[in-house]
Each structure stands twice: as structure tokens, then as C-alpha cells.
Structure 1
Amino acid sequence: MSKNDFHRHLSALTAAIAQRPLDAALDQWLNQHHGPDSDSYRTLQAHCEEGVAQGWLCERGAPNLRYGRVFAPEEALHGFSVDVVDMQDIAGPHHSHPNGEIDLIMPLTGHAATFDGRPAGWCVYPPGSAHRPTVAQGRALVLYLLPQGQIQFTKAAQP
């Protein structure tokens, strides 16, 4: 598997979701059609694990929180950017999603690791939502699809 294969697989997925609102119905649809028991999920997880092993994914950060933008938003990805993080028992920086966020949760330590309390599968945050992304009970890779690549990190309070 290569970065180009990963891009092609993501392009097919983003084509299927490009015109859908980022809401609970999309969350349910993704988990029903592309959830942990699907070939699509297994293929994405294999691409992510291989990308980490090869060093073109999650190339920045500290041991418990590694990250990186894989693809900027582009027409072939239907306006989505693609980021992947590798987190282990840690909370990441607080941020908001002006256009929403779609996350694919891929536990690496058995099946116990959760992302924001959610197990393996998809999690959709609607436009205007915010959170402090948290992986608990182990290690997980999380793939983020951001419409137009929009994310706003919360500035730390000044003393």
C-alpha cells in the first residue's frame, strides 16, 4: 500500500459523503456502511498503520501524541483535508470545527481504546462543535476529515 493508494481509497469515501450534512445521520450511515466490520474500515486502518510504520503518517509530535496532515483539502478529496493522529491515553489540544469534523477511530491496543468515549468506528461532529480530543484505555489512530481543512485551535489563557 502506498500514499497514492490511500488517497484513492479516501477519494472514493469522500465522494460518498461530500454532499451530506455532518450530523448524527451521517455518523450512523458511516458506522453502518464503513464500520469496524467492513472491508473499508480494515483497508483504512491498514493504510494508516503502514503509513505510521513507513514514517509518512504522524511524523510530528511527542511519543503519546503524534500527528500530521496527510492531504490538504482538494477537489479529488471533495474539499476535505485528511489528518491522522496517533494518541495514547492523552487529551489533545482543545479546538473547534467551523465546518464540522469526521473522525475514524482505530484502536491499536486490543479493542479497548476509546476516542472521546467512543469505541472503534466513526464519530461525526457537526459544524460549530468543539472538543478536547481524548484517547483513553490505550492507543488509537484517529483519521480526521475536515471540510475545507477548517480547524481552530483554542488559544491558551494568558496569565
Structure 2
Amino acid sequence: MSTVDTFQDLIAPLTASLAGRPLDEALAAELNRTHPAGSLLFEAIVAACRAGDAAGWICPHEHGGIRYGRVIKPTPALNGFSVDVVDMRDVVGPHHVHPNGEIDLVMPLDGDARFDGQAAGWKVYPPGSAHRPTVTGGRAYVLYLLPEGAIQFTKA
């Protein structure tokens, strides 16, 4: 059974490899090449999210048809990244800005779920970017790695 501590241990080598890197399309391409859907890391994260969801510590909150939770606050153990997970099915989420960028892992759970057009895999938003997170075509978990946990929800 997965716990928050074992989840952090799973994510730590990944965040170590991301520390100090520019959050851009090149990083997204690299993550999709080195940790694609079906890879050991991808599947381990999906399994941990499913186990954590079943145990109640992943996505313990719900609002507007979106289940969500900040699983891990920014910590030196994760090189200053926080870890959030959402569970979305055919829904548009609240508009927000990524002051320091955002690294997303899209994990479809049914249908041809896509997050902001991204199928299973990685999507990276640069610092200062903004969006209304949208899942279409089914249900997906999306794991967010946020440098310093920075996110600003807006009224847009």
C-alpha cells in the first residue's frame, strides 16, 4: 500500500533531475522520451495515485466536479517542488497562473482522456503562463509539480 512517504520517495529522483532546469517545451519532450506512458516510472506513479486515492490521501477535496489535493507541500526533499493531484472528467477547471511554471503528468483513467490536449504523458508550462485546465474525452489524474508550490488562481 502506498503512503505519502513512499509517494515522496517515488517522486524524489524525478524532482532531483528537474531542479534548476528551464520549464519549457524541451523539458516536456525530454520527459516524454525518458518517462513515457507505459514506462516504469509512469506506471509506478499511476499505481501510487490509484492506491492513494483508494486510501483517501490523494484528491481528498472536491469542488466544481474536480477532485484534488496538495499531496506534498514544497520541500527540500523534492528540491522545492510541491505535488498536487487532480481527478478530472470532461471538465474545465479554474483559471490560474503559474508564477514559476508547472510540470504536469497526464494519466488517463478511461476513454481518450486528454489534459489541455495532451494524451498520456508530460506537459510543461513555462513561468508566467496561465490556463483553465481542461480534461476532455474521459477521466484522468493529473499530477502537478509546482516549483515552490506557486500557483495563483484568478477570476479570468
Mark yes or no: TM-score above 0.5.
yes
Residue 107 of structure 1 aligns with which residue? 108
Q: Where does the alignment leave 5 or more consecutive residues of structure 1 unmatched?
A: none
Deviation at 1:2? 2.2
Deviation at 1:64? 3.0
Give the structure-1-normalised TM-score.
Answer: 0.94
Identical-pair percentage: 59
Residue 77 of structure 1 aligns with which residue? 78
In the TM superposition, 1:21-60 aligns within 5 A as: 21-60=22-61
Residue 124 of structure 1 aligns with which residue? 124
Distance 1:2 1:81 in 2: 16
Runs of 4+ with >2 A deviation = none
Distance 2:100 2:71 in 1: 19
Kindly indicate whether the alpha-carbon contact (under 8 Å) linking 1:64 and 1:89 is maintained by their aligned counterparts in 2: no
Deviation at 1:140? 0.3
Match status 1:139 vs 2:131:
no
Residue 154 of structure 1 aligns with which residue? 154
- The SS at the match of 1:155 is coil
Distance 1:153 1:2 in 2: 28
Distance 2:38 2:20 in 1: 25
Cα offsets for 1:4-61 (capped at 9, x unmatched): 1110011111001112110011000111111102100000010011111110010001
The root-mean-square deviation of aligned C-alpha atoms, in Å, is 1.1
Give the structure-2-normalised TM-score.
Answer: 0.96
Residue 15 of structure 2 aligns with which residue? 14
Kindly indicate whether the alpha-carbon contact (under 8 Å) linking 1:58 and 1:85 is maintained by their aligned counterparts in 2: yes
Kindly indicate whether the alpha-carbon contact (under 8 Å) linking 1:67 and 1:86 is maintained by their aligned counterparts in 2: yes
What count of residue pairs does the alignment treat as equivalent?
155
- The SS at the match of 2:54 is helix
- The SS at the match of 2:110 is coil
Distance 1:4 1:123 in 2: 25
